Amino acid sequence: MKDGFISVACGSPRIHLADCARNAEETFTLMRKAEKAGVKVLVLPELGLTGYTCGDLFYQETLLRGAEEALATVLEATRNLEVVTAVGLPVRCNNKLYNCAAIIQKGCILGVVPKTHLPNYSEFYEKRQFAPAPAEGDFITLCGQEDVRFRALQTFACTEVPGLVLGFEICEDLWAPDSPSVKMAQAGATVIGNLSASNDLIGKDQYRRQLVTMQSAKLLCGYVYTSSGEGESSSDVVFGAHQLIAENGTLLAEKRFEGGLLISEIDVQRLCYERRRTQSFADLSWEEKYEHTFSLTMGKTKLTRYIAPMPFVPEGKGDRDQRCQEILLIASLGLKQRLEHTGAKTAVVGLSGGLDSTLAVLITGLALKMLDRPMTDIVAVTMPCFGTTDRTKNNAVILAERLGATLKTVDISASVRSHFKDIGHDMADHSVTFENGQARERTQVLMDVANQTGGLVIGTGDLSELALGWCTYNGDHMSNYAVNTSIPKTLVRHLVAYLARDNQDKDEDLTVVLEDILDTPVSPELLPAVQGNISQKTEDLVGPYELHDFFLYYLLRWGFSPSKIYRLAMDAWGKKYDRTVILKWLKTFYRRFFSQQFKRNCLPDGPKVGSVAVSPRGDLRMPSDASMNLWQSELDSLE
């Protein structure tokens, strides 16, 4: 719980219809299993202590008394259990009968929540036996406990975990247009539990799944949905024990036609960050609160939820291809608009034979096709120098030729030597001056070629490089429009691979050169080659981009602390990298991220394509001289 993860569970015990004593036993047995598994919040089915399908038996005093006795039994049997549990039962109040959720912990009833919206259509006839939740609440005595709050829209806040606030609604409440969960979320609830008895029909599970996930997205909350299953009457319908756990639009866990527990973890810290970030949510806060408090023992929550190692890259091929299509469309539309607005005659791209410049020239080609302009309007400039290998140079040339671009080769070796002579730099000194001198000369060439041809220089640097500051200030850092500026390195590779497979002209030679570019090590090629091979590999110097993209996503998208990012990275990458390697590169990431902000503060324009971007005009307004001490202190504690 220190990192904000709260273990939650759906529970679907076997129902013994109208046998309240046996249902009580099933209930506390499941609660004990949940407690043993470290679960802190458990949601059980609607009317679980009686069974949902009792019909007119709900009129019987014997059944109602049996339900209350069953709750008392559960309270006594679980008086030492910390798990906060929502139990369904019928409750009498002011000569009316209500379909309710009793929220219990350590043998105490924290509150009773009546159902607001009662279905009375098709197979449902709840208004025959039950009344909807009253507009005004009340206090009742239940199981010998006095002054138990009885009303809808109650919330339950944990005193030890800031932001952990629970709310509960029942079945149809979710399906209604004015779900109680909306007001509870506005009042601060971050985790909503739903006690349900939703029968199964063809296609209904898909609709139910959409409701749960979209409600969690709309309310920026965790949503724990439990439906009844085996044991309910099958006279006319079947109940499939559908269990769903969702968080902010993502389905974390699901089970159907199977009883027992379904466990996952809700990241309350993440939800609170998103609510703070999304000001429109705060503007809708609902001040009429009916809040209780409860306590939990602090400890480290075991993670069972899946942590994607590459959060920027969808794992399914279909989703990944769709993501690639959208990114290419957004980026090329942005460049199309810029070329139209400026009246540029050409688009000048420095081609190195590497991944980033390849993606940039491919996006440029898509933009020109949208404008119905010839590919010759792309001026592809190769600028070999001391570190250029035949492989990358040849790939750049072939790529330009296959695209039909205007190819221009400018060997910058003599210019750089002359510059080094002017400033008194020894050619044998391969320091940062040696590297940056080449990068800035290339940018000067590109800018001058753009002036010659009436064009714009198209930037090639990607999001990952910008985050690390792995670019030469006023060198490859600068352009007239940067099409890759919000595309992370892990996704650049997939975009090029997608275009290699699906190039519109089905050009086999183009596919071959793109595949070879994909196989080429990432390198700025600023140090002399060794026996014709690349001697300078970026990931040997700054670390694996797959790790840095992981760090970047959780730092900027969710505002996570170094310790939490480290924990998640260990979960996602621990089988490939040991903890010392992950920590080493995490420290490198933070050091470079803070020290290199001055480069991001003067970025050229470029299109935002995803939820993480570093433009100073949009997503990242950060001082260049901010202290890293707080983050460094936490990193040091991870030794």
d(CA 273, CA 165): 14
Amino acid letter for position 12: S
d(CA 215, CA 185): 11
The helix (H) or strand (E) run that includes residue 321 is helix 317-342
Residue tagged active-site, from 20, 54, 171, 471? 171
d(CA 416, CA 170): 73
Residue tagged active-site, from 26, 46, 169, 465? 46
CA angle 354, 357, 360 (to 5 degrees): 145
Strands, E assignment, 40-174: 41-43, 84-93, 96-105, 108-114, 138-142, 145-150, 154-158, 165-170
Instruction: Please name which of 229, 249, 254 lies closest in space to residue 241, comparing C-alpha atoms.
Output: 229
Tokens representing 316 are: 């399914």
Tokens representing 401 are: 């030729």
Which pairing describes strands 481-482 and 165-170: parallel, antiparallel, or unpaired? unpaired
Contacts of 67 (CB under 8 A, 6+ apart): 20, 49, 50, 89, 90
User: What is the average pLDDT across 548-567?
Assistant: 95
Give the CA dihedral 289, 279, 629, 631, nearest 10 degrees: 80
d(CA 547, CA 311): 10
Say what the pLDDT of residue 201 is.
Answer: 74
Is 80 exceeded by the pLDDT of residue 525? no
Contact 161, 191 (CB under 8 A): no
Tokens representing 270 are: 């993440």
d(CA 11, CA 73): 18
First CA to last CA distance, the chain: 21
Is 70 exceeded by the pLDDT of residue 535? no
Is 60 exceeded by the pLDDT of residue 471? yes
Q: Is 171 a catalytic residue?
A: yes
Q: What is the pTM of this model?
A: 0.88
User: What is the average pLDDT across 336-354?
Assistant: 95
Amino acid letter for position 558: W
Q: Is 345 a catalytic residue?
A: no
Tokens representing 357 are: 């410049």
Is 90 exceeded by the pLDDT of residue 639? no
Question: Average per-residue pLDDT in the chain?
Answer: 91
Say what the pLDDT of residue 510 is.
Answer: 86
Q: Is 115 a catalytic residue?
A: yes
Number of C-beta neighbours around residue 493 at 10 A: 18
Contact 239, 261 (CB under 8 A): no
**375 vs 390, higher pLDDT:** 375
Using one digit for the tens of pLDDT, what is the confidence trace for 257-277?
Answer: 988 999 999 999 999 999 988
User: What is the average pLDDT across 292-315?
Assistant: 91
User: What is the average pLDDT across 131-139?
Assistant: 91
**The three-state (H, E, C) secondary structure of 435-491, written as one string:** HHHHHHHHHHHHHHHHHHHCEEEEECCCHHHHHHCCCCCCCCCCCCEECCCCCCHHH
d(CA 508, CA 505): 9
d(CA 486, CA 348): 20
DSSP, res 140: E
Say what the pLDDT of residue 203 is.
Answer: 79
Say what the pLDDT of residue 387 is.
Answer: 79
DSSP, res 54: G
Residue tagged active-site, from 10, 20, 115, 525? 115
Largest CA distance in the chain: 101
Residue 214 phi, psi (nearest 5):
-70, -35
